[in-house]
Structure 1
Amino acid sequence: MNPLHLLTAALLTTGLATAAEAQTLKKIADSNKITVSYRESSVPFSYLVGSTKAVGFSVDLTEAIVDDVRKKLKKPMLEVAYMPVTSQNRIVLLLNGTYDLECGSTTNSSTRAKDVSFAINHFYTGTRLLTKKSSGIKNYADLAGKPVASTTGTTNAQVIRKYSAEKKLDLQIILGRDHDDSLLLVENDRALAFAMDDILLFGLMANSKNPAALEVVGDSLQVEPYACMLRKDDPEFQKLVDGTLSRLMKSGEFSRLYTKWFMSPIPPKGVNLNLPMSEQLKANLKTPSNAPAL
């Protein structure tokens, strides 16, 4: 059994993830506090500028949802607490009630949907490779038998491991604690490439120590949707979150935020990722869906 499923089962057995905690709006109202998560290095979705301030596309979506929670509960002075999560702990900490909402760079997958619920998809991406230009790596076959980094707890680590087995590439996969750690493995020549969602690779490269020395290469292995994550069996909170995202998509505010983070200079270095909206995301704005990755 997947270690995450074992831990989830343990949490459920010990009562840490109770039905009462799943009723998120009541929990927030009773405590006058909502706790939301952020990622430390998921550029441009959710990342730190300085030591404590989280910014990004997903952070802006989170703040819009929090505003609607305030209105729903008639609590204009609602306290908002921000806590960092990693690829490895984000699901467990949501399940046990440590925080209430995750909008970051989490793939909406059928496997994860057994444990959590997903809101309307807000981005589409695919696994590619970040490598040094001097490496000579252009695609996955060039990495046969060589060290490749990915990040603990991500779908990308599973995708690249499966692809390696199917193609008999014998990739030597090294897992970083977070995306910055995985990037460092490439920068320090412990891995020849970093397999991750292409948009995160472009963001990490743009804000790296030497962007000109790096490049994103390789075929996109599969299309994956990102979505905000919340606890299961909580239709009231799901309705609110989906309602916020639908409103942003229909009003044009979502497109404005997309332009802000993907088509304009972003902090801290003022780099423009210059990534036009994908056809999948354009279609999702017209007909919002939370369909998982295939």
Structure 2
Amino acid sequence: MRIVPHLLGAAIAVALLSTSIQAAELTGTLKKIKESGSISLGHRDASIPFSYLGNEPGQPIGYSHDLQMKVVEALKQQLGLPELKVRYTLVTSQTRIPLVQNGTVDLECGSTTNNVERQQQVDFSVGIFEVGTRLLTKKTSGITDFADLKGKNVVTTAGTTSERLIKSMNAEKQMGMNIISAKDHGESFLMLESSRAVAFMMDDALLYGEMAKAKKPDDWVVVGQPQSYEIYGCSVRKGDPEFKQAVDNAITATFKSGEINDIYSKWFLKPVPPKNLNMNFPMSDELKKLIANPTDKAAEQL
């Protein structure tokens, strides 16, 4: 078959034009990912079972991480990047928002509460989990609710909504608590386990995660009337609607397909690393509603 040179040249020109138009249509984070061939994912090291380090060095695992990887798979298709490289960046409660803001992290999925204050700094995906803030304590401590904490040492994790709530409660009700702000959930539980605090305030699902890795899980209990209900979301840079939409589409598709049920069961109803203990944390009615009707609103906006 003989190809006329000028027709071949025209075909190449059209192909190049099509590619340039496609590239021009991409903006923000999508353009950055397409051009670099890589995406930076923010993860935690101890937010069991949402996002934490597994047995492989530097390799995060968890419920939120599985959803994060659903986004990566969707982006591979959307951007035509089957070999999209994933770069992991460890974040903490204090650094997660700044690292998303400054572009170090493209997508952070862990145990980050979507609230009105944080919405001024980053944008959030549709919600991926809903929790209540409660207390973890020894079964023999005599602590059954927040009123029992008066004059006691209480630990929480720095940079979390639980820290803000317990400090506000302490001031408003003049409870005389000594509030210890630990650097991460693991350190918070260590404070509790070593009797430097009588209770650990945090999101209930995370407290069950700490129980699952305790030396003697049966010694502990989660108690107290929830002081707030919070929705976790994946955080992305503010003002990048195209990327946020891509993230939302991937998560919503996972919800609609029913895959979310298998992911939930894997992390909350079956044995999980590092000790292969079962959290026995059934899906709440609130989370079922969130999955059926995805929203990127904070709990206080619903």
* TM-score normalised over the length of structure 2: 0.88
Measure the CA separation in 2 of the matches of 1:38 and 1:82. Answer: 7
Compute the displacement of 1:238 (Å): 0.7
Q: Which residue of 1 aligns with 2:112?
A: 106
**Alignment map for 1:86-165 (pairs within 5 Å):** 86-165=92-171
Measure the CA separation in 2 of the matches of 1:150 and 1:241. Answer: 30
Please list every run of at least 4 consecutive aligned residues from structure 1 whose deviation after the TM superposition is greater than 3 angstroms. none
Letter in 1 for 2:231: P
Q: Which residue of 2 aligns with 1:262?
A: 268
Instruction: Please tell me whether the aligned partners of residues 110 and 293 of structure 1 are also in contact (alpha carbons under 8 angstroms).
Output: no
Measure the CA separation in 2 of the matches of 1:71 and 1:140. Answer: 49
Query: Superposition RMSD on alpha carbons, in Å?
Result: 1.2
SS of match in other structure, 1:52: coil
1:45 to 38, 42, 50: 50
Compute the displacement of 1:144 (Å): 0.6
Instruction: Please tell me whether the aligned partners of residues 107 and 293 of structure 1 are also in contact (alpha carbons under 8 angstroms).
Output: no
* TM-score normalised over the length of structure 1: 0.90
Q: Which residue of 2 aligns with 1:33?
A: 38
SS of match in other structure, 1:135: coil
Measure the CA separation in 2 of the matches of 1:255 and 1:95. Answer: 32
Compute the displacement of 1:53 (Å): 2.5
% identical aligned pairs: 47
Q: Deviations over 1:211-235 (max 9, x none)?
A: 1222211111111001111011101
Compute the displacement of 1:98 (Å): 0.7
Compute the displacement of 1:293 (Å): 2.6
Compute the displacement of 1:167 (Å): 2.3
Measure the CA separation in 2 of the matches of 1:40 and 1:174. Answer: 20
Alignment length (residue pairs):
273
Compute the displacement of 1:103 (Å): 0.5
Gaps of 5+ in 2: 1-26
Q: Which residue of 1 aligns with 2:184?
A: 178
Q: Which residue of 2 aligns with 1:209?
A: 215
Q: Which residue of 1 aligns with 2:17?
A: none
Letter in 1 for 2:115: S
Say whether 1:274 aligns with 2:273.
Answer: no
Compute the displacement of 1:251 (Å): 0.6
Measure the CA separation in 1 of the matches of 2:290 and 2:47. Answer: 22
Q: Which moved more, 1:70-79 or 1:176-185?
A: 70-79
Q: Deviations over 1:125-180 (max 9, x none)?
A: 01111112232211112111111100111001001111222322121111000000
* Structure of larger gyration radius: 2
Compute the displacement of 1:84 (Å): 1.0
Letter in 2 for 1:36: L
Compute the displacement of 1:110 (Å): 0.5
Q: Deviations over 1:239-290 (max 9, x none)?
A: 1000001111111011221111112222222212122211111112221111
